[in-house]
Structure 1
Amino acid sequence: MTTKRIVLTGGGSGGHIYPLLAVAEELINLAPKFQFSLELFYLGPSGNYDKTISQAGITPSFILASKWRRYASINNLLDIPKFFLSIPQAFFKMFLLMPDLVFSKGGTSSIPVVLAARFFRIPVIIHESDSIPGMNNLFAGKVAKKVYLGFPRAKQYFNPQKTEVVGNPIRRELLARKVSREEARQKLGIQQPDLPVILVIGSSQGSQNLNKIVLAALEFLLQKAHIIHQTGKANHERVAAIAERLLQGKSLPGTYRPSPYFNEEELGTALSAADLVISRASAGAINEIAAFGRAALLIPLPTAAHDHQRVNAYDFAEETKGAAVLEEGNLTPTLFLNKVNELLAKKEQLARWGMAASHFFHPEATERIAQGILETLSHSS
């Protein structure tokens, strides 16, 4: 067995960390076939997922977090020195680790790591999840040996000789939680089997604007459906309190289940139970919807970099014919409610949409990325 060191890097959000964890798990699974013993490291910003990274058998090492926001914010000025300070941090830590390969998921904090890899002549492989790449992956793609993509549209931005569309990685643990609708609803204690289930997901941190729209329409929605609502940890107490006041003393057919955050088991159960998923249009959210074969109403985040969520949403809807898109700029509680009612009234269409959405999911994506990383290591030995 030959020992190989791999550094995983990316921004600190769930959209970066969860795909890294999925690929890391597959790397560990496939490494013996290549006669490799792996040492995995995470080099990036510290955040909410530090414990999760360590529990996955990955040694974390942190650099200063920075982010460029595409809207006016004092934090942009504060993050400029953080970014430049993170560069020598990354160079020093990469010198100490001296890995055999770097796998990057993008994000501003990945750039110092990619720069250090370039300086030390360490091969870089990247994965871009979205239809429109971020600036960080556009830069990293120029020095990467291989570029893996989640959406076909992104191929135009990279060298076609080293680009491959594979889909987006997903955690095995989440897929393992997929069960039948009946089993999921029984697990959730949903008694009325004839009433549809709506799952609302803002993002890993929740969405204040989406929460407001759901609360404004809540009483009317519960006349026709059960609602499972991921509010986000920061918003949960407020949303739950408002919902309690709105529903106090009212007997409605549907039940309302707010939750601050879903772990893999909870998310798998909620997706399995749902007839319709109302969600932001991050690549990760779309991938999970497709993996579970669910119809979707996508509401893209308007402040997403390069408007990539809007493009993600329309690409997914156009390719699969398994989703509708509502843009937040035009969104009112009345328009939202009318669209949801329209979709719920067409049960057969929702079932067809779910089946169509499932064809967008690439179950082999994680394995193909891990295989490519290990093959690169094998060729460079």
Structure 2
Amino acid sequence: MICWPGKSYGVVVENKEHGGSLVKKIVLTGGGSTGHVSLNLALIPLLKEHGWDIFYIGSSTGIERNLIEKIPYVTYHAISTGKLRRYFDIKNFLDPLKVGLGVIQSQKLIRDIKPDIVFSKGGFVSVPVILAAWINRVPIISHESDMNLGLASKIALPFSKKMCFTFPETGKHIPDDKELFLGPVIRAQIKNGSRKKGLELCGFDDKKPVILVMGGSLGAQKINDTVRNCLSDLLRNYQIIHLCGKGKADSSIQMKGYKQFEYVDDELADLYAATDLIISRAGSNSIFEFLALKIPMILIPLPLSSSRGDQILNAQSFEKQGFCEVLDEEDLTVQLLTEKINGMYSRKYDYKKNMSDNNPGDGLMKLYDMIEKVSVSKKG
């Protein structure tokens, strides 16, 4: 069921019996980008396995809707949302009204659902949900993937029982009684890809190594342009999968060994399995997936002109640990990118060894255990 803003939300039934005990209910939230949904996608099967009723509150048009609504055992509700900006924009005057409407809608949903706990992965859509949960005295656990707290996480922190995080360095921004270091949380299905299927999906053979280029769910135009300008040189030695972003495929390029996708979902695990080297932005969820799969990476973080600098810090942390090479977007040229690719591929086993030595533990089970603990403490 998907409930749209401005329409009746209906009444959610009271807690049902399940295996001799009351079914626990959880509301998940987070959206705006794939990174603000991926941890929820990893968590949902575990919640289902343990008998939770799962509800998701997100936006009506964000990528979270596309990713979540296809899961048959998750009930999706859409609310009004407004973007949180640190810069001047005329929309800044309208968006607080959208957030306010979102809080009202979330309050009604929270009262109807009566969840035991709310888990927030962040993004601007999560703010109304967090405020509504706090008003209704529902405990909240939040999560920050990047090294520094984003604006949504800073807003969530005072209202949250726990703030989970991926990078150890993030803990210095969080009170001791609220911090919970998880390390990376990786979707199980990402680890189960087939190299054979990935190559077949692209029409590739196994004679040349494969480079995967991805600029995030929205793509990255400068990376796209630079890679396309390198093709004549790169395709002599490599095959290239290019995840170029919605509306950013170039149908005029038809070259053997080059395959474009605007966006992939279920196919991503197979494409990862076929990949020998990745060129990517430095969003934390993605780079920890590369780390888990031990794929050497060239990271091109979002520049400060387009971000709060979180991807730059993520990339620097990985570079210090010997997991990647970093290339600043301002320095990105055909020649430099080609040199980086050839140099990294020649040393790929050094990077793989460094990644193999990394053992962060099971972040997903740490998170689930805390959800159980906090939800039980609510009843107490």
Length-normalised TM-score, structure 1: 0.86
- Distance in 1 (CA, whole Å) between partners of 2:166 and 2:225 is 31
- Which whole-Å deviations, capped at 9, do the CAs of 1:119-165 have from their partners, x for residues lacking one? 11111111111111102112212221122111111111101223121
1:34 corresponds to which residue? none
CA distance in 2, matches of 1:94, 1:304: 35
Summarize the alignment of residues 243-282 of structure 1 with structure 2, pairs less than 5 Å apart: 243-244=253-254, 247=255, 255-264=257-266, 266-282=267-283
CA distance in 1, matches of 2:315, 2:94: 32
Corresponding position of 1:251: none
Whether the 8 Å CA contact 1:132–1:306 is kept in 2: the answer is no
8 Å contact from structure 2 (residues 84, 151) kept in 1 = no
Q: Per-residue displacement from partner, 1:249-294 (whole Å, max 9, x unpaired)?
A: xxxxx71111122223x22222222221000000111011012111
Partner of 1:240: 251
More deviation in 273-282 or 367-376?
367-376
Given the superposition, is the C-alpha separation of residues 191 and 278 from structure 1 closer, same or farther in structure 2, using an over 3 Å criterion? Answer: same
Matches within 5 A, 1:70-109: 70-71=86-87, 73-109=89-125
Residue in structure 1 matching 2:46, options 23, 26, 29: 26
Change (3 A) 1:215 1:192: same
Identity of aligned residues (%): 33
Structure 1's consecutive aligned runs of 4 or more residues displaced over 6 angstroms after TM superposition are: none
- Summarize the Cα distance change of 1:62–1:212 in structure 2 as closer, same or farther, 3 Å threshold: same
CA gap 1:100/1:112 in 2 versus in 1, 3 angstroms:
same
How many aligned residue pairs are there? 356
Structure 2 unaligned residues grouped into runs of 5+:
1-20
- 1:332 is matched with which residue? 333
Report the 3-state secondary structure (helix = DSSP H, G, I; strand = E; otherwise coil) of the residue aligned with 2:177: helix
Flag the 1:51–1:198 CA change in 2: closer, same or farther, 3 A.
Answer: closer
AA paired with 1:240?
A: S
User: Aligned with 1:60: secondary structure?
Assistant: strand
Opposite residue 28 of structure 1, the aligned amino acid is K
CA deviation digits over 1:202-245, x for unaligned, max 9? 11232222111111211111122111111112212xx232x23x
Secondary structure (helix, strand or coil) at the match of 2:186 reads: coil
Which of 158, 171, 191 does residue 205 from structure 2 map onto?
191
2:185 counterpart (162, 166, 169): 169
2:236 partner amino acid: Q
Matched, 1:229 2:242: yes
1:10 matched residue in structure 2? 30
Q: Write the distance in 2 (CA, Å) between the matches of 1:192 and 1:323.
A: 24
The change in CA–CA distance for 1:304 and 1:141 in structure 2 (over 3 A counts) is farther
From the superposition, tell whether residues 263 and 189 of structure 1 become closer, same or farther in structure 2 (CA, over 3 Å). same
- 1:95-131 CA deviation, whole Å, 9 max, x = no partner? 2222111101111221111111111111111111111
Corresponding letter in the other structure for 1:23:
L
Per-residue deviation, 1:314: 0.7
TM-score (norm 2): 0.86
Which moved further from structure 2: 293-302 or 136-145? Answer: 136-145
Aligned with 2:353 (options 352, 355, 358): 355
Question: Are 1:306 and 2:308 an aligned pair?
Answer: yes
Distance across 1 between alignment mates of 2:227 and 2:87: 26
Out of 54, 63, 71, the position equivalent to 1:40 is 54
Return the match for 2:146 from 123, 127, 130: 130
The CA distance in 1 between the partners of 2:284 and 2:146, in whole Å, is 6
Contact 1:289 1:357 in 2 (8 A): no
CA shift at 1:12, angstroms?
3.2
For residues 49 and 126 of structure 1, the distance between their equivalents in structure 2, rounded to whole angstroms, comes to 17
Alignment check: 8 A CA contact 1:138 1:157 kept: no
RMSD over aligned CA atoms reads: 2.2
CA contact (8 A) 1:290 1:361 kept: no
Residue 58 of structure 2 contacts residue 65 of structure 2 at CA under 8 Å; is this kept in 1?
no
* Alpha-carbon distance in structure 2 between the residues aligned to 1:128 and 1:153: 12
> How far apart in 1 are the matches of 2:142 and 2:360?
18
